Amino acid sequence: MGASRETARRALHVPFRPRLARVVALVLGVVVAAGTPVLVLTVPGDYGFADLGGFAAVGAAIVWFCWREASVRALVDERGVTVRNLMLTRRVEWAEIVSVRFGQGRPWVQLDLADGDTLAVMGVQRADGAFAAAEASRMATLVALHARTARND
């Protein structure tokens, strides 16, 4: 029984990653990465080096943004959760998390923290439907599991 309990616990601790947003970002990033050089090399008209460099820079910025969107996640371990959102990464300990919210109208899971702050977890996105609801429930289970101490187990 101990091995199956450990397997279940390990399954709870897999990373949280969005599905739909990740696929869209990766496909769009590949299309832009492939299309930008073609555009720069074949654009009709009399464009100078600065103009073509600008096209390339915009393409590179779009590819970078898509990569960031595709790499959104929440990594969990026994001590806490590391949330990598679109622009920022933040680490919080389990004891800092008061509750998990994913009510109607929220585009992603939100963690309420003990200091009164909130933390969006873009690794669980409403666009993923039932999968997102299950992932939000898994996050709430992890918070409840790790909030226990020797005195309140």
User: 13 in a domain, yes or no?
Assistant: no
pLDDT at residue 148, rounded to an integer: 63
Shared domain for 126 and 92, answered yes or no, is yes
Count of domains observed in the chain: 2
pLDDT at residue 153, rounded to an integer: 41
CATH number of the CATH domain containing 104:
2.30.29
User: 47 in a domain, yes or no?
Assistant: yes
Shared domain for 81 and 130, answered yes or no, is yes
Per-residue confidence in pLDDT tens, the chain, 153 aa: 566 877 877 788 899 999 999 999 999 999 999 999 999 999 888 899 999 999 999 999 999 999 999 999 999 998 999 999 999 999 999 999 999 999 888 999 999 999 999 999 999 999 999 999 999 999 999 999 887 654 444
pTM beyond 0.85: the answer is no
64: containing domain: 21-69
User: 94 in a domain, yes or no?
Assistant: yes
- The tokens for 49 are 């080096």
Looking at 11, 37, 69, which one is the last position of a domain?
69
